[in-house]
């Protein structure tokens, strides 16, 4: 147990290569009030995209602010995904949700998800969302039209390494058809929360 953090609810981690559909699944689960979930907003040093808002989509920090918080041990987990492009989970975010008596749901990268699972092995359900194939992943990323071809290729290359970590997760949801993936994710989360 992370020192200075009081155990309250459960932690539900959804990790996947970018474009696998984990965000869609997490949004679906949040609509199911009986699961008593609250979204953990990650901190990042990357620039806002589109209509993203600070404190809603992410806590947007400068690279310097992020590094300062790392030094002060403010993160439950963090990672430098690309040079000076940090993502992490603030301890205060999890404490905020637990104080509301809710379970925390994360939409988080693979290494961050596994770090949370290592720190809270009993309280965490770590779910890996798998795309049907790497080719399908590339098609989904292109459809988003939010990134350059180079950035998409970087994400696809990273996806292959991330897919190799899937056996380290508690369970895998293959997102071949969204409806099936949503049902399977709901069942797994509901069973874990009620166990």
Give the total number of structural domains in the chain: 1
Query: Is position 4 within any domain?
Result: no
Which range among 5-19, 74-88, 173-187 shows the weakest confidence by mean pLDDT? Answer: 5-19
Which range among 63-67, 74-78, 82-86, 166-170 shows the weakest confidence by mean pLDDT? Answer: 82-86
pLDDT at residue number 3 = 53
> What average pLDDT does this structure show over 178-186?
96
Query: Is position 1 within any domain?
Result: no
Q: Left if phi > 0, otherwise alpha if psi is -120 to 50, otherwise beta: which for 145?
A: left
Query: Is position 88 within any domain?
Result: yes
Find the CATH number of the domain harbouring 39. 3.40.50.300
Reported confidence tier of residue 7, pLDDT bands at 50, 70, 90: low
Query: Is position 162 within any domain?
Result: yes
Query: Is position 187 within any domain?
Result: yes
User: Domain of 53?
Assistant: 11-193
Query: Is position 111 within any domain?
Result: yes
DSSP code per residue over 127-185: EEEE-S-HHHHHHHHHHH--S-HHHHHHHHHHHHHHHTTGGGSSEEEE-SSHHHHHHHH
Query: Is position 130 within any domain?
Result: yes
Query: Is position 5 within any domain?
Result: no
pLDDT one-digit tens code per residue, 30-39: 999 999 999 9
């Amino acid at each position: 147990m992370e020192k200075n953090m009081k155990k309250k609810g459960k932690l539900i981690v959804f990790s996947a290569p970018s474009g696998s559909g984990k965000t869609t699944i997490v949004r679906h689960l949040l609509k199911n009030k009986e699961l008593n979930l609250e979204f953990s907003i990650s901190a990042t040093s990357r620039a806002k995209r589109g209509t993203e808002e600070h404190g809603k989509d992410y806590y947007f920090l400068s690279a310097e602010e992020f590094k300062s918080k790392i030094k002060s041990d403010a993160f439950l987990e963090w990672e430098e995904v690309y040079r000076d492009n940090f993502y992490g989970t603030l301890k205060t975010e999890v404490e905020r949700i637990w104080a509301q008596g809710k379970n925390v749901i994360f939409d988080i990268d693979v290494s961050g998800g596994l770090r949370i699972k290592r720190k809270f092995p009993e309280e965490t359900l770590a779910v890996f969302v798998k795309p049907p194939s790497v080719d399908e992943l590339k098609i989904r990323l292109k459809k988003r039209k939010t990134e350059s071809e180079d950035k998409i290729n970087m994400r696809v290359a990273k996806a292959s390494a991330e897919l190799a970590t899937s056996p380290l997760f508690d369970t895998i949801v293959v997102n071949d058809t969204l409806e099936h993936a949503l049902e399977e994710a709901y069942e797994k989360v509901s069973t874990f929360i009620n166990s």
